[in-house]
Amino acid sequence: MHEDVIFALASGAGRAAVAVLRLSGRNTGAVVEVLAGRLPPPRHASLRRLRHGGELLDRALVLWFPGPASYTGEDSAELHLHGGPAILAGVAEALVAAGARPAEPGEFTRRAFLNGKLDLTAAEGIADLIAAETAGQRRQALRQAGGALASLYGDWTMRLTALLARQEAFIEFEEEDLPADLDDAVATAAAALRAEIAGHLADGGRGERLREGLHIAILGAPNAGKSSLLNALVGREAAIVSARAGTTRDVVEARLDLGGVPVTLADTAGLRDATDEIEVEGIRRARRRAEEADLLLLLFAADREPDAETLAWRRPEALVVLSKSDLGAALPGLGGLPVSARTGEGLPALRARLEAEALARAGATGETLLTRPRHRAALQDALAWLDTLPTAALPELRAEALRAALRAIGRITGRVGVEAVLDVVFGEFCIGK
């Protein structure tokens, strides 16, 4: 158990009816007693007066969680205070005076991990849970925090270990008359495992995309109505709209929840041969954003001839939108969804279409999905090693491939290379979690 007592605000920052302070560490009981007098019975909410130097700070609900049956595995407590910056500041000061210190980012979860309460993938799940913006992200993070990924990778590890053991027996005991088909059995089982890992990897990045959010970029000629469409979709004036061509120069982003998938919608500078130095840079950024996007919206205004610049961006992951549909009819041969930012015509259909596209690309299938590039890299490594099995001419080379695959998966859970993954995993927590 950690000696020092840490504390942090566990509820959101800002004015609220109740603010929850969380404490953890070996001396938590003593620290709480300094402020609140007698400790309440374990896991019962009791109303206590909090005092500092004789002065009454607040009347608060105090909860006491003796370790190891606590989130961090250490002695912990929660103080449910009345919201308000002054109370919070006063209690924090009193806690410091009693020997506690503010927590570093991620320190609670880190302690829970170090005390064996969580494995690495579960800890990552908790980081995601805290950061989740949409219902889809929350469900995925919850599954991972609950150990779904850990058990999937644990299962693969077990099966690889069993395969390796058989391969090793074949190497080690020449004199024992082992069944002749031993190697074949290993090969078959390894191929099955390989297919499962490959399937997990071939999720089209759904889990990672759900975790990180989907990127959609709006492209089109100047004045095609891009900024207007962005504003209409997010329901607020995020981008400046004007009849002057070349108004939008940098990339303007807005967040959107599409069926539980978090989406970043990017409005960009209109595509044209520009001479203005700033506009040229804007167009360069527009192109780059378009390259990186998961989905493109290509806008063609109904009252104009389609421009060649935008036409050139037509591709499978691009959706053609006919903007300003109040001004004209569909352009022959171009197809596309007619939408008017002005009248609202076609907006529900576009939204539905975007939602379908988002769900097709990210998240929520109910399966346990890969959520992090760190996991993907390790699994790809494991897969690459398993791929060498069929052509490995000697049993010790096959064993080596199995060992390397095992080590690669071991990196995900921290069995291997623990030192290296610590920062990656705990660097991304925000304070108090």
Ligand X SMILES: Nc1nc2c(ncn2[C@@H]2O[C@H](COP(=O)(O)OP(=O)(O)O)[C@@H](O)[C@H]2O)c(=O)[nH]1
Q: Which residues bind other proteins (CB under 8 A)?
A: 1-3, 111, 113-116, 119-120, 168, 171-177, 393-397, 399-400, 403-404, 407-408, 413-420, 422
Q: How far is the CB of 310 from ligand X (least distance, A)?
A: 10
> Which one-letter amino acid corresponds to residue 371?
T
Q: Does 243 help bind ligand X (rule: CB under 6 A)?
A: yes
Pick the binder of ligand X from 140, 340, 368, 371 (CB under 6 A): 340
Non-local CB neighbours of 416 within 8 Å, separated by 6+ positions = 407, 410
Q: Which is nearer to ligand X, 140 or 231 (CB)?
A: 231
> Is it true that the peptide bond before 222 is cis, omega within 30 degrees of 0?
no
Q: How far is the CB of 139 from ligand X (least distance, A)?
A: 35
Q: Are 100 and 115 in contact (CB under 8 A)?
A: no
CA nearest neighbour of 253 among 241, 232, 238, 240: 238
Q: Which does 327 bind (CB under 5 to 8 A by kind): Mg ion, ligand X, other proteins, none?
A: ligand X
Q: Which is nearer to ligand X, 350 or 409 (CB)?
A: 350
Q: Which does 176 bind (CB under 5 to 8 A by kind): ligand X, Mg ion, other proteins, none?
A: other proteins
Cα distance between residue 356 and residue 345, in whole Å = 19
Q: Which does 141 bind (CB under 5 to 8 A by kind): ligand X, Mg ion, other proteins, none?
A: none
Selected range binding ligand X among 79-87, 164-172, 240-248, 362-370, rule: CB under 6 A: 240-248
3-state class of 234 per DSSP?
helix
Q: Which is nearer to ligand X, 327 or 334 (CB)?
A: 327
Cα distance between residue 79 and residue 96, in whole Å = 15
Site string for ligand X, 266-305 (x = CB under 6 A): ----x-----------------------------------
Pick the binder of ligand X from 70, 227, 368, 371 (CB under 6 A): 227
**Measured in whole angstroms, how far is the alpha carbon of residue 93 from the centre of its chain?**
34
Read off the tokens for 420: 């290296």
Pick the binder of ligand X from 223, 310, 371, 413 (CB under 6 A): 223
For 412, phi and psi rounded to 5 degrees?
A: -65, -45
Cα distance between residue 212 and residue 361, in whole Å = 12
**Measured in whole angstroms, how far is the alpha carbon of residue 380 from the centre of its chain?**
19
Q: Does 326 help bind ligand X (rule: CB under 6 A)?
A: yes
Give the number of residues in contact with Mg ion, rule: CB under 5 A. Answer: 3
Non-local CB neighbours of 426 within 8 Å, separated by 6+ positions = 105, 106, 109, 110, 113, 123
Cα distance between residue 244 and residue 224, in whole Å = 11
Q: Which residues bind Mg ion (CB under 5 A)?
A: 227, 247-248
Q: Which residues bind ligand X (CB under 6 A)?
A: 220, 222-228, 241-243, 247-248, 270, 323-324, 326-327, 340-342
